[in-house]
Amino acid sequence: MSTPTAAPASRNAPCPCGSGRRYKECHGALAAMPPPATRDSLADLMASALAAHQLGRLDEAGRLYERALAIDPQIFDALHMLGVVHLQRHDYDRADALIAAARALRPDDASVRHNQRLVEDGRWRLRAALGYREWIRRVETPERDARLPRLRAAATRTDAPRISILLPTYNSPPALLAACLDSVLAQVWPHWELCIADDASAVAATRETIRRYAAREPRIRVAWRDANGHISAASNTALALATAPFSALLDHDDVMPPDALGEVALAILERPELAIVYSDEDKIDERGERFDPYFKPDWNPVLARAQNCVSHLGAYRTDILREVGGFREGLEGAQDWDLLLRCAERVEAARIVHVPRILYHWRVSAGSTAGSMEAKDYASAAQERAVREHAQRRGGRVSIRRVAHGAFLQVDPVVATAASVSLIVLRSPGEAEPQAIAHWRAQAGAVTEVLTAELAAGNPQPLFTRGPLAMTASDARSVNTAALRARGDVLVFVASGITPSAPEWLDWFVAHALQAGVGVVGGVTVDADQCVASGPYILDPRVVAATPFFGIPANRVIMGGRNVLVQNLAAVRLDSLAVRRDAWLAAGGLDTANLVAGFQDVDLCLRMAESGLAHVWHPGIAFLRDAHIAGSSAPLPIPHEADCTYMRTRHGRALAADPSYNSNLAPPPRLFEIPMAADAAVPAPLQLPEARR
């Protein structure tokens, strides 16, 4: 707590508070201090306010902080903690103003910066929640209503697919189980059977609820297990009841919207060869309020090793479920994820299809992994075992670490043989080549060689912009020349003026680049606040490519964790990229003929994808941008129109349907956000606004 003391004669004199700062840094302008009696009352006020705050009496604490500020408006602790009170009340505007005033007094205080970040996060979450509610009303509900006639018509076809719903139960809360069963009975698609396996529930109300529903609905089939065997055993019992060609997984406390099975059936009718079909999902609380949607990408095998991105609503060919042996006992807590990985190993990627609609509401309640991983400690070990054994079946080994507060996995291949590495530094104008080489030699001593390629002699800041990497044809030739001189098995491109934040960065780059079927591997650059300054790309026909997660802090989880998970993406930036030398040469390097100002890295990725290679983005490979570089705060240069035209002509199909994005999400610049009513078609090229700090 800051106890007011007498002001010094000069604002530049040391502050009497003992902080070691000058007075102006703590208090600003000189002002007459209160008399001693008032100072004593201020100390008492602040002590009482902090005590009330610690006990959770926010109203009382707020009043006391306000009384203290009425005596002295420059009390750091009163400003800061009153801001925290408003933060706890979710009054983000008042919290922001007060905490900003406190930070003006002590700019370097870590707790103030932390709480400012919490204010920003709170505002973001509130905006996202309100945006999702508005999206449900404005977009989802009308679309769902408009599609119902199509679902009903499809249900009359002679080849209309039947779907078995696998539902294990155990001591299920009767009200939540009834809501789950009601959602099945409400399905527009009539061709289903519900296969319930009760795992020897000891709660009589659970058994009675099941009996009551089974008595009224002949499509419900029930198996009563004699002994409790946990969820995998119960799920296998449900699978044994299934007679339909497809089986969908349902948890006993979750609910499906009325069109869920119908939309899955439409996907099967359109693609009869499908093996796995999955949808988007959201969460639902115990009051029935929907929140936290996960609008997923199309099948993304690298992402599937970091999280169960299929999960709900997932439907599988029943024969494949039986071929793989069903749900594995001993993998409880990750049995669905393990099932996905084993099934995906047996089918071609083209037979795994994503339906971009919310077809499942995942209940968040006490003990549910929808709320947090801490709810089921055993699930953590099961997840890691499932992923490790998946890698072993594919002939490899992996290292695993937890990210995003332990919620997800970062999975990196373990490479048995060493590879030679050439590090190519994209050197900014004016930086001496020996200086650049020496810097990166210190950061990556294991490399075979360090080469440089100087970029944009006429551009003072070619790197670290929010949009595509600015690069002239001359720059591209310089990069190609350096790549041709390189002798390493793997080429690693990095920008000058950045420093890796993880000691394993080069190992991760190389290990992923050496995997069969991988084209390029990309990292991310962050600023001093650990916010994204430049990174990968999302494709869009209006702007060609834009950077997602720009300005987002690393500890904020966006759209199911997409900003913190290793995954397949369509394109990544050249200034933090690794690629096998033979793959680079086979692709012909960067285009030096058709692109004059940018998009060369995007074009390279798309040309490599045409040859069947997939690209990996690794947010754990993070580089800290040097403080003196201010590129990310500069306005985004409008892309060269000729380059945009070429990219749309050459790669129009890829730009129109980025498999790593979702058509329900907003276009650039608001990537991975819920589209608002004001969102409209954005003319190309687009000037992207900078994120507010």
pLDDT per residue as tens digits for the range 557-573: 999 999 999 999 999 99
Buried b (16+ CB within 10 A) or exposed e, 130-140: ebbeebbeeeb
Q: In the beta sheet, which residues pair with residue 199?
A: none
pLDDT per residue as tens digits for the range 70-82: 888 999 999 999 9
Return the pLDDT at 45. Answer: 86
Report the C-alpha gap between 119 and 114 in whole angstroms: 9
HSE on the CB side for 282, CA within 13 Å?
Answer: 22
Retrieve residue 671's tokens: 């990537």
Report the C-alpha gap between 212 and 251 in whole angstroms: 19
Return the pLDDT at 504. Answer: 94
Return the pLDDT at 290. Answer: 95
Least confident of 65-69, 274-278, 382-386, 570-574: 65-69
In terms of pLDDT, which residue wins out, 126 or 346? 346
Report the C-alpha gap between 85 and 288 in whole angstroms: 29
Task: Tell whether the model's pLDDT for residue 5 goes beyond 80.
Answer: no
Task: Tell whether the model's pLDDT for residue 636 goes beyond 50.
Answer: no
Average pLDDT over residues 287-297: 94
Using pLDDT thresholds of 50, 70 and 90, give the confidence band for residue 10: low
CATH topology of domain 415-656: Spore Coat Polysaccharide Biosynthesis Protein SpsA; Chain A (3.90.550)
Task: Tell whether the model's pLDDT for residue 692 goes beyond 60.
Answer: no
Return the pLDDT at 434. Answer: 78
Task: Tell whether the model's pLDDT for residue 413 goes beyond 90.
Answer: yes
Cα 617–Cα 622–Cα 628 angle in degrees, nearest 5: 130
Using pLDDT thresholds of 50, 70 and 90, give the confidence band for residue 681: very low
Any residues with CB less than 8 A from the CB of 137 and at least 6 apart, and which?
A: none
Least confident of 124-128, 163-167, 195-199: 124-128
Return the pLDDT at 39. Answer: 54
Task: Tell whether the model's pLDDT for residue 654 goes beyond 60.
Answer: yes
Q: Do domains 23-118 and 415-656 have the same CATH topology?
A: no
CATH tag for 155-395 (out of 3.90.550.10, 3.40.50.20, 3.30.365.10, 3.40.50.1820): 3.90.550.10
Report the C-alpha gap between 575 and 554 in whole angstroms: 19
Return the pLDDT at 579. Answer: 98
Task: Tell whether the model's pLDDT for residue 175 goes beyond 70.
Answer: yes
Return the pLDDT at 44. Answer: 86
Average pLDDT over residues 490-518: 94
Report the C-alpha gap between 422 and 486 in whole angstroms: 6
pTM: 0.85
Separation of first and last alpha carbons in the chain: 27
Buried b (16+ CB within 10 A) or exposed e, 590-610: bbbeebbbbbbbbbbbbbbbe
The letter for the amino acid at 240 is: A
**Strand 246-249 with 163-169, pairing:** parallel
Average pLDDT over residues 345-364: 97
Using pLDDT thresholds of 50, 70 and 90, give the confidence band for residue 496: confident
In terms of pLDDT, which residue wins out, 274 or 627? 274
Return the pLDDT at 599. Answer: 94
Average pLDDT over residues 320-347: 97
Task: Tell whether the model's pLDDT for residue 305 goes beyond 70.
Answer: yes
Report the C-alpha gap between 380 and 400 in whole angstroms: 12
What percentage of the chain carries pLDDT values higher than 70? 87
Average pLDDT over residues 510-529: 94
Q: What are phi and psi of 85, to 5 degrees?
A: -55, -45
Any residues with CB less than 8 A from the CB of 512 and at least 6 apart, and which?
A: 412, 413, 518, 521, 566, 578, 616, 618
Domains in the chain: boundaries: 23-118, 155-395, 415-656
Return the pLDDT at 466. Answer: 59
Average pLDDT over residues 365-380: 58
Task: Tell whether the model's pLDDT for residue 176 goes beyond 70.
Answer: yes
Average pLDDT over residues 436-464: 73
Least confident of 470-479, 608-617, 624-633: 624-633
CATH class for the region spanning 23-118: mainly alpha
Burial classification of residue 651, based on how many CB atoms lie within 10 Å of its CB (0-12 exposed, 13-18 middle, 19 or more buried): buried
Mean pLDDT across the chain, nearest whole number? 87
Q: Is residue 307 a contact partner of residue 561, using CB atoms and an 8 Å limit? A: yes
Least confident of 101-110, 125-134, 262-271, 631-640: 631-640
Burial classification of residue 211, based on how many CB atoms lie within 10 Å of its CB (0-12 exposed, 13-18 middle, 19 or more buried): middle
Least confident of 328-337, 411-420, 597-606: 411-420
pLDDT per residue as tens digits for the range 247-285: 999 999 999 999 999 999 999 999 999 999 999 999 999
Using pLDDT thresholds of 50, 70 and 90, give the confidence band for residue 355: very high
Task: Tell whether the model's pLDDT for residue 679 goes beyond 80.
Answer: no
Task: Tell whether the model's pLDDT for residue 548 goes beyond 60.
Answer: yes
pLDDT per residue as tens digits for the range 183-229: 999 999 999 999 999 999 999 999 999 999 999 999 999 999 999 99
Task: Tell whether the model's pLDDT for residue 632 goes beyond 70.
Answer: no
Return the pLDDT at 627. Answer: 56
Return the pLDDT at 639. Answer: 65
